[in-house]
Amino acid sequence: MSELATKVPKLNRLFKFQFEKAQDCYVLLFPEGMIKLNGSASAILLQVDGEKTVADIVAALVAEYPEAEGIEEDVLAFFEHAEEKRWINYV
């Protein structure tokens, strides 16, 4: 795993992560709008609590979805994307 694995992600305070009944999915709300999240992104963000490292989150998701191949790479790619989009930052 990369150095990203030791980082502790937290949701950017400008975004609110919640389940939206009208959309029937999790979303990120922000002042300018809303981002609909797919199931994988939602599963990852549900693990983000400002205490777990990226490695902890990967381990939890591997345990929850043992049949999912390549989950580590997918989670790392998600965190890179989420940081680029400023959805998350690191403690």
- pLDDT tens by residue, 6-32: 999 999 999 999 999 999 999 999 999
Q: What pLDDT does 2 receive?
A: 76
- What is the pTM for the complete model shown? 0.93
For Cα atoms 44, 48, 54, give the angle at the middle one, nearest 5 degrees.
Answer: 75
How far from 47 is each of 22, 52, 71, CA to CA, in Å? 23, 8, 14
What's the mean pLDDT when you consider all of the chain?
Answer: 95
- Helix, strand, or coil (residue 20): strand
- Beta bridge partners of residue 17, listed in sequence order: 28
Residue 41 token pair:
């992104």
Per-residue pLDDT of 79-90, as tens digits, reads: 999 999 999 999
pLDDT exceeds 80 at position 51: yes
Residue ranges of domains in the chain, CATH in brackets:
3-85 (1.10.10.1150)
